[in-house]
A and B are shown apart, each in its own frame.
Chain A
């Protein structure tokens, strides 16, 4: 089934509407909210993974509602040669994309779970995490 990672921006005029609910109910999409935040101006940002055959009509619906839709073009990569498997990132990563495999204690990176918050780029002591556009 088609799958898309997108960034949605909601103005304060629509931040209180049940828009995501419609994606599920009317467009039969599987949604995975990777990141969601409403700031003090009531403007919202959401990073979403959409799975389903009606991705494109669903995106059209979002645009009609006044949501700004942007593909999630940034991707975080791990430089395998630089990573020493120290583990310092594993309890900082908020989505569990970086984790320790036991009992080997090797650090693993599952980019499917990455929400591109990029905090790993800051905390990695050997700068093994990179972001690409």
Chain B
């Protein structure tokens, strides 16, 4: 008989401390041993995790009102500007924003030692930040300038709102040119000198629910060390099944999530300011999603292992920047994690950019929260689109 469990049934088991929870890494050997049906019967929740640079991250802030009031037309925190073209004393600080005096790539490759992501980490860590704001005066908001110190405790709201996180899969980047290049996937040595990838593979949230059978709007997640929610699909959300020129299937890619959560209950260990040499500043985000085992089909998806998951190998010296379609083939995450892959007949060393040990830690923390009965699962209020919706990327045309 087919196995069917509801969210309510699984939550009852969580509340009574009887829920069986495993990580997406642990479930692989269990399914190998017992098979899909038996595993689906005995396991209630599988937890996932990922810890990588997620540039499309930021925080909505409300600073509270000074006496006399200022509208805050322009806002800086530790010299990094936050967008304040919204209501008075509201601002959005983006992870990749740089101080106006940053030399950027004028001394190539630029170091980008401090940016929006670092400000967010300092804020979460409870550090005192220098707040500067300027404005034109109005009758109701007469003040034109303010400089003061603020901490996370001092301000009204700090809501992490990341428009594009948790990339389902990602390119494996190489460099075919004859010079070293500096990309958002790290330093790439010339003539296929190395290959960088950035995914937790078998632990990655959206590779474990590739068809969005359980993850949807309202799903409760681990975000930045605290609790967050899936707010919407991410920007550039183009879920697809990867295929090579011959039509061979290489599994899911392309989906993204938009996530939200209260920064005040997050932790600086899981929101880390990041500097990519020659590229820019960012924020490394810890994110984990629990997957309720509603049926055997969900179990089949979470049982996926690194050997079954593939990344396309893309040349970042030309193909990426010039938007030349195609790739140099697909490589499995098992091969990528072995430290060596073969591209164009050459064996080249690989390195990850997202931390697999931290991803595993997130999946384990989430597992413990659920086991302790503290963390119940939420049924999505709306499903997210999947590859079946055939959403394709639009290009920006010039002229």
Contacts and interface: CB of A to CB of B under 8 A. Distances in A.
B337 A102 contact: yes
Most B CB atoms within 10 A — which of A87, A90, A126? A87
Interface residues of A, number: 20
Interface string A76-113: 00000000111111111000000010111110000000
B82 interface: no
A45 interface: no
Most A CB atoms within 10 A — which of B196, B350, B352? B352
A66 interface: no
A6 B284 CA distance: 38
Given A88-B351, A91-B350, A105 B357 contact: yes
Contacts of B354: 86
A92 B355 contact: no
B276 interface: yes
A91 B194 contact: yes
A125 interface: yes
| Category for how many chain B residues contact A | 20 to 34
Contacts, number: 75
Given A86-B352, A87-B355, A102 B272 contact: no
Given A84-B358, A123-B277, A105 B337 contact: yes
Contacts of A126: 272-275, 284
Most A CB atoms within 10 A — which of B113, B186, B350? B186
Interface string A46-87: 000000000000000000000000000000000000001111
The majority secondary structure among interface residues of chain A is loop
Contacts of A89: 351
Given A102-B337, A125-B53, A125-B274, A84 B284 contact: yes
B276 A125 contact: yes
A125 B275 contact: yes
Contacts of B276: 125
Contacts of B194: 91-92
Nearest to B274: A125
Interface in B109-163: 109, 111, 113
A123 B276 CA distance: 7
Contacts of A92: 186-187, 189, 194, 351
Contact of B351 (A87, A106, A127): A87
Nearest to B270: A84
Nearest to A122: B277
Interface in B349-395: 349-358
A127 B357 contact: no
A122 B196 CA distance: 16
Nearest to B354: A86
A9 B47 CA distance: 56
A127 B352 contact: no
B272 A84 contact: yes
B275 A100 contact: no
B86 to A, nearest CB: 30
Given A100-B339, A102-B339, A127-B113, A88 B196 contact: yes
A85 B273 contact: no
B51 interface: yes
Interface in B73-113: 109, 111, 113
A23 to B, nearest CB: 33
Given A125-B53, A125-B284, A85 B358 contact: yes
A103 to B, nearest CB: 8
A87 B275 contact: no
A26 to B, nearest CB: 39
Interface in B313-371: 337-339, 349-358
B353 A87 contact: yes
B355 to A, nearest CB: 4
Contact of A85 (B109, B187, B350, B357): B357
Contact of A88 (B51, B189, B349, B353): B353
Contacts of B195: 91
5 contacts: A91-B350, A122-B109, A123-B187, A125-B53, A126-B284
Given A86-B52, A87-B351, A100-B352, 10 more contacts: A86-B284, A88-B196, A91-B194, A91-B350, A91-B351, A92-B186, A122-B109, A125-B186, A125-B274, A127-B113
Interface of B: 51-53, 109, 111, 113, 186-187, 189, 194-196, 272-277, 282, 284, 337-339, 349-358
